[in-house]
């Protein structure tokens, strides 16, 4: 027995020495993560081992398991590879977040004879992602604010789906398949109820805004529908009854019957040009916008932009008055796209006059300016409640500041960068924008990738409260 112990003891000592040597060759491979304007910066400890080949960087919306028995981590989670041994950092701006805004990271060091995973880190951002499959080579989708706080509609035309998204809770509340063409939509609070009106050619369907269940259909006989608005359980439809005559038709939504109509303009050179209908919170008021090319004796066209304020009598457009202001009604003898910039706020109190940030207050006919610093020609976005105005450059890049003004005093509340790290990416497969939802700046990007004859779409929403 003693001889056996003597023989085994050197082997145990050798084995333990070997184990200690292996542990000494595997120092801590630590990973850390910090968020930076909704991008995530990863940092790890320097590589001290020989036989270095590369470092794989993985990201997931759920915890990432360690590679076991030479089985690698799911390749779809790989977001980058580092081959420079001296590099110890990586910035992830193309984020895909979990439903709670959480994202997980792990990196794996590849050596000639083995792999060494790092610790897992997670971080949480004010945003979330929705991943879904679509049809075709690109996802034809758009985002529109819901008329109540903290909600958005995601509309995907390719799969005929509308989803109600609560971005404060970072989740989809409800999705529904709508087989209509969805030419345009009108989400409103109508008589205290959230409703969604969707146009399909010459019919308009009313849906419950929260459940997305169909309530009724209004069949139109209009020659050429331009757009429509809803207020106080009445629908106002702007359409062309002939090649050059624009009319506003009124429907009682309690009966779904037409109750009257008004001819609002006859174009001398055909139409419609820049026609639009606006209905705000002003009592018994609707606004009609248009522009017309008028051929004059000098041999060229004068382009005139006009906004008309109509009084509503028994829910039908009646007498009218042109809103007069030099900046709003200026004529042009050359290409003039100013009519694109004439937009009304949702509450009907403010009118954007041009691309230079001049705002006309309809309550007292005073002129305000929201152009500043980098925003010489700002895009104007009004909040649904009418409490704020957003002024941002036409093409937002990461260095631009977005200005938020309070209404009605037009005080500058703050200037901030877009919370969207993807806004400076130019790509035909990327839909991106900043919108204003009451007390929050909401940014989104919708990215499409095509593989295996299928389009995968990832909608990522970021938001930042400023109130």
pLDDT of residue 14: 41
- Give the span between the Cα atoms of 26 and 188, in whole angstroms: 62
In what helix (H) or strand (E) does residue 310 lie, and over which residues does it extend? Answer: strand 301-313
The per-residue pLDDT string of the chain (467 residues; one tens digit each, 9 = 90 and over) reads 444 444 444 444 444 433 333 323 344 579 999 987 778 999 998 888 889 999 999 999 889 988 876 677 888 889 999 999 899 999 998 788 887 788 999 999 999 988 889 999 999 887 888 877 666 555 567 788 787 778 888 887 777 888 888 887 878 888 888 766 666 788 888 888 899 998 887 789 999 999 999 999 998 876 688 889 998 899 999 988 877 888 999 999 999 999 999 998 887 765 667 788 888 766 678 888 887 776 666 666 667 778 888 888 989 988 888 887 777 766 555 555 666 677 888 777 888 887 788 898 888 888 888 876 555 678 888 887 778 888 887 665 555 778 889 888 999 888 877 777 665 545 555 677 778 777 778 888 877 766 666 667 788 888 777 76
Global pTM value: 0.77
| Distance separating alpha carbons of residues 60 and 44, to the nearest angstrom | 18
Cα(359)–Cα(370) distance, integer angstroms? 8
Which ranges of 84-215 does DSSP label H, i.e. alpha helix? none
Rounded Cα distance, 240 and 95, in Å: 46
Q: How far apart are CA 44 and CA 30, in angstroms?
A: 5
What residues contact residue 45 under an 8 Å CB cut-off, 6+ apart?
27, 28, 29, 30, 88
Neighbours of 266 (CB within 10 A): 12
H/E element, 14: helix 2-24
pLDDT of residue 301: 67
* Alpha carbon 139 to chain centroid, angstroms: 14
| Contact predicate 423/395, CB 8 Å | no
Q: Is 452 left (phi over 0), alpha (psi -120 to 50) or beta?
A: left
CA atoms within 13 A on the CB side of 437: 27
Sign of CA dihedral 445, 450, 451, 452: positive
User: DSSP character for 223?
Assistant: S
**Long-range Cβ contact pairs of 27-31 (< 8 A, separation 24 or more):** 29/107, 29/109, 29/116, 29/117, 29/118, 29/119, 30/118, 30/119, 31/105, 31/106, 31/107, 31/118, 31/119, 31/120, 31/121
- Cis status of the peptide bond prior to 62, with omega within 30 of 0: no
Cβ atoms of 167 and 128 closer than 8 Å = yes
pLDDT at 270: 59
Whether cis (ω within 30° of 0) applies to the bond prior to 408 is yes
For the chain, the residue count is: 467
pLDDT for res 90: 94
pLDDT for res 260: 92
Interacting residues of 87 by C-beta distance below 8 A, sequence separation 6+? 55
């Amino acid at each position: 027995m003693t001889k056996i112990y003597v023989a085994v003891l050197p082997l145990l000592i050798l084995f333990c020495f070997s184990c200690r040597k292996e542990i000494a060759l595997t120092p801590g491979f630590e990973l850390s993560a910090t968020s930076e304007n909704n991008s995530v910066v990863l940092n790890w400890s320097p590589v001290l081992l020989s036989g270095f080949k590369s470092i794989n960087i993985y990201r997931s919306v759920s915890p990432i398991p360690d590679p076991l028995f030479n089985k690698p981590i799911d390749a779809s989670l790989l977001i980058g590879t580092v081959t420079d041994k001296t590099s110890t950092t990586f910035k992830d701006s193309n984020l895909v977040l979990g439903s709670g805004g959480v994202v997980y990271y792990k990196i794996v060091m590849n050596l000639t004879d083995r792999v060494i995973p790092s610790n897992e880190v997670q971080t949480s951002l004010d945003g979330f992602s929705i991943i879904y499959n679509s049809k075709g080579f690109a996802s034809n989708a758009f985002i529109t604010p819901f008329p109540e706080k903290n909600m958005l509609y995601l509309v995907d035309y390719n799969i005929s789906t509308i989803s109600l998204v609560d971005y404060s809770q970072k989740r989809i509340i409800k999705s529904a398949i709508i087989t209509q063409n969805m030419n345009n939509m009108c989400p409103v609070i109508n008589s205290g109820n959230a409703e969604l009106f969707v146009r399909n050619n010459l019919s308009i369907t009313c849906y419950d805004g929260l459940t997305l269940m169909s309530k009724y259909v209004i069949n139109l006989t209009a020659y050429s529908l331009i757009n429509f608005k809803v207020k106080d359980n009445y629908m106002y439809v702007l359409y062309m009854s002939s090649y050059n005559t624009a009319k506003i038709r009124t429907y009682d939504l309690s009966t779904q019957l037409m109750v009257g109509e008004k001819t609002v303009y006859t174009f001398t050179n055909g139409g419609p040009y820049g026609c639009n209908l606006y209905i705000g919170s002003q009592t018994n008021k609707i606004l009609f916008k248009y522009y017309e090319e008028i051929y004059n004796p000098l041999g060229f066209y004068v382009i005139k932009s006009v906004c008309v304020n109509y009084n509503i009598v028994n829910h039908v457009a009646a007498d009218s008055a042109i809103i007069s202001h030099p900046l709003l009604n200026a004529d042009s003898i050359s290409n003039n796209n100013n009519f694109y910039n004439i937009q009304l706020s949702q509450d009907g109190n403010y009118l954007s006059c041009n691309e230079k940030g001049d705002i006309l207050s309809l309550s007292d006919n005073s002129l305000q300016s929201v152009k500043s610093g980098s925003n010489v020609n700002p895009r104007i976005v009004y909040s649904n409640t009418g409490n704020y105005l957003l002024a941002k450059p036409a093409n937002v890049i990461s260095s631009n500041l977005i200005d938020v003004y309070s209404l009605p005093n037009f005080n500058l509340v703050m200037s901030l960068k877009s919370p969207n790290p993807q806004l400076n990416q130019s790509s035909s497969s990327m839909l991106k924008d900043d919108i204003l939802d009451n007390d929050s700046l909401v940014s989104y990007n919708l990215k499409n990738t095509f593989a295996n004859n299928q389009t995968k779409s990832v909608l990522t929403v970021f938001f930042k409260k400023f109130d």
